Amino acid sequence: MFTEHSLDPTLAAVRERHAPDAVVLETERDFETLDPAVAEQLGLRAERLDLVAYDSQWVPESAPDALHELTSEAFTVGAPGDGGVTWTRQTEPPFVFIKPRTTSSPDAFVDFLVATALVETGADLPEQFLGFFGARYLEFAEQSPLSPIDTYQLAAALYEAYKGVHTRDIFAGWEAEHPDLHAQWIDAGERLQPRLDGLSRELAENQTSFAAAAELACAAVRHTGPGGIELPAPFSALATDAYAEHGSEYAVQWATRTFDALGVER
């Protein structure tokens, strides 16, 4: 199920700088929640397992099953939609996983995803968006005019933006030290920019859902900053130092104000 991934000198340098104890593994199949047999295989590679526990009272009854799964005793790594590379600090050492869904992606872009995961692994960030919101998720869900699924999608997107605003300066700073990774950071941002340019209009004309627009814009936050791209309103307010400082409280206030301003309805 798991095979250790050999790192080239650039990725080895990123690991040494940000997550020196991390082990990068290739997986035989895609997953989020690990069934007991697979978790046991991973446990054989780990010196210690310390599963994250979330309070079930943070999650409303109407929330999607995937969110309730996070409050169970299941070993959950990542979440649906996380993409082809994810990470966990629920093990010692931490693990970064490269999933089979990356096989169709260019090697250089996969390297950037692995580098991103290593940076996030070494950062002082919650592993899941539910850990980011904590008890505020219940408040967030109660105030959301969106469906439970769209509320879940929006919350996950807002956490991606929070991770992005904490890591983007590292990516921007790779121009001299890791030019290939920096080029991938630039390229990925430039590919997003055309889709972002029309996002405010699409929202105003109801051509896209609010949750889908937020998912796109929040994923782009990691590509903002010096030399990076620009986000449209209202999402530009998430690419700020204020968001980095105030976290989930800011996210809830931003969402509430934005719902009111746009007249978002179920």
- Side-chain half-sphere CA neighbours of 59 within 13 A: 21
Q: Please report the pLDDT score of residue 74 as a whole number.
A: 76
Q: How far is C-alpha 226 from the geometric centre of its chain's CA atoms?
A: 21
Cβ(25)–Cβ(97) under 8 Å? Answer: yes
Q: Please give the average per-residue pLDDT across 2-21, as a whole number.
A: 96
Report in angstroms the alpha-carbon separations of 194 from 189, 220, 231: 10, 12, 11
Residue bearing the bigger pLDDT, 75 or 107: 107
Cβ(254)–Cβ(133) under 8 Å? Answer: no
Q: Please report the pLDDT score of residue 124 as a whole number.
A: 86
Using CA atoms in the order 43, 91, 184, 9, what is the torsion angle rounded to 10 degrees?
-80
Please determine, for residue 169, whether its predicted confidence score (pLDDT) is greater than 80.
yes
User: Is the alpha carbon torsion for 197, 201, 203, 208 positive or negative?
Assistant: negative
Using DSSP's 3-state secondary structure scheme, residue 27 falls into strand
Give per-residue pLDDT as tens, 47-106.
Answer: 988 888 899 999 999 999 888 988 887 777 776 667 789 999 999 999 999 998 898 899
Cβ(237)–Cβ(224) under 8 Å? Answer: no
Domain spans in the chain, listed from the N-terminal domain onward? 1-127, 128-266
Measured in Å, how far apart are the chain's first and last C-alpha atoms? Answer: 42
Q: Please report the pLDDT score of residue 93 as a whole number.
A: 95
Q: How confident is the model at residue 30 (pLDDT cuts 50, 70, 90)?
A: confident
- Side-chain half-sphere CA neighbours of 239 within 13 A: 22
